[in-house]
A and B are shown apart, each in its own frame.
Chain A
Amino acid sequence: MATPRPQKPLELILARNLLTSISTPAFLLDHEAAVVFYNEAAAALLGRSFEEAGRMEAEQWTQAFGPFDRSGVPVEVDALATTEAIREGRPAHATFTIRTADGSPQSIEASAFPIVASEEGSSGAMILFWPLSENGDSG
């Protein structure tokens, strides 16, 4: 019998419930910066549901979807705004390019903020994506 995974902190459970209810592509990361959930809007952008993809370590995520910098070079995990947000307990905002389901690049504005519920530090982070049009406008 498989050992059950430990329960997520309540603040992550509530964050997931919120993400489920909004139409902005959004991701939930745990304290190790692994993607532990993304919503249907994000699934539409990526072309793969979370149920299909499952939990992804940061490295797995970047290999599959990016992000890439403006030159198309993969951004290192440690340099991601989201990684900073979790490690340093502060919000971050960045513009980068991801790879969508059909392999085409998509420019994104992303805002990440840590989810902190105790003095021990953040239990994860929430990241919202605003896809940019070709002329650089969001939405």
Chain B
Amino acid sequence: MKLKVWGARGSVPAPGPHMNRYGGNTSCVQLTLASGEELILDAGTGIRSLGLDLNAGRRIHILLTHLHLDHIQGLMFFPPCFRADSEITIWGPSSPEASLEDRIARYISAPLSPVEVRELPCSVSFRDTPASEWELGGATIRAEAVTHRGPTLGYRITDGPTAIAYIPDHEPALGAPLAGLEPEWISGFDLARDTDLLIHDCQYSDEEYPEHVGWGHSGVSDTLAFASRVQARRLMMFHHDPLHSDEFLDEFCASARSTWGDLGGDATQLEMGMEGAELEVGPAATVPPVHA
């Protein structure tokens, strides 16, 4: 499975000279499956550039984790939405309050938007994620609710022998230290168990986290503890705080790799989500280590 990061920032776009390397666009990841089909994980502002890169006339599946603005803001600027030959399916969490389409239309409607969903020239459909696994492009997809603020999903995508988990907004240690919990009581555990790559929320340093408990994001120690508990072979720390500069994230990564090694992990298999990064993901033996 191939993966490209189009946006790794959390909360709000953070452009600027001090953010150029890791990037300022919000969550968006492109997966290319063994079948050649592509999946898009989240529609943060990174999806705008991704859309410019896509060939016309493709069938597009977008898997939304949740509807916070940093995960859907790019939808209105996604070029395929404005092409009549595009066929787009948007998957997301269900809600008893309103349909997925109606909830997204709160953003793609006046006064926030100059266009309405019904005016988009593409063919677009909205689907609640099923409670059980389903297939897209030859891959098996599993979505489960995870600890965040509001209805939020994590995804597990299994393509042949390769499994990745995408849980960009997640606070699994809220109210209960991960070290003492049995796996069945850890949010997201089954999604991330034994994955070849875990893309996980790591918005805060341990110094910042106490001021943000309950905001739905993880401090670095909790991210590493979670990755260790689920025995992820490779970890991408994701959803960077908009205040974290390139220099900060470099140091953050070095510190995390040291801790990851202390936890028994392979420090070469921990990396930071970086806009533009392209990865080949496969079972452990087939993938070279990550380089700083």
Contact = CB atoms under 8 A, between A and B. Distances in A.
Interface of A: 4-11, 13-14, 16-18, 20-21, 117-118
B175 A4 contact: no
Contact of A17 (B131, B146, B176, B193): B176
B176 A7 contact: no
Interface of B: 131, 144-147, 174-176, 182-187, 189-190, 193
B185 A10 contact: no
A70 B175 CA distance: 37
16 contacts: A4-B183, A5-B182, A5-B183, A7-B144, A7-B183, A7-B184, A10-B144, A10-B147, A10-B187, A11-B145, A13-B147, A13-B186, A14-B147, A14-B175, A20-B176, A117-B145
A7 B145 CA distance: 11
A8 B131 contact: no
B175 A8 contact: no
B143 to A, nearest CB: 12
Nearest to B187: A13
Contacts, number: 40
A21 B147 CA distance: 16
Nearest to B153: A10
Nearest to A10: B145
A9 B131 CA distance: 12
Nearest to B174: A17
A122 to B, nearest CB: 14
Contacts of B187: 10, 13
Given A10-B146, A13-B147, A21-B175, 4 more contacts: A5-B182, A7-B184, A17-B176, A118-B131
A6 B147 contact: no
Contacts of A5: 182-184
A38 to B, nearest CB: 13
A18 to B, nearest CB: 7
Contacts of A20: 175-176
Contacts of A14: 147, 175
A21 B213 CA distance: 14
B174 A6 contact: no
B185 A8 contact: yes
Contacts of A117: 145
Contacts of A7: 144, 183-184, 186, 189-190
Nearest to A119: B96
B164 to A, nearest CB: 18
B184 A6 contact: yes
A8 B190 CA distance: 10
Nearest to B184: A5
Contacts of B175: 14, 17-18, 20-21
Given A7-B184, A10-B187, A16 B176 contact: yes
Nearest to A7: B190
5 A-B pairs with least C-beta separation: A17-B175, A10-B145, A7-B190, A5-B184, A17-B176
A8 B146 CA distance: 11
A14 B151 CA distance: 13
B5 to A, nearest CB: 27
A98 to B, nearest CB: 25
Contacts of B182: 5
A13 B185 contact: yes
A117 B184 CA distance: 18
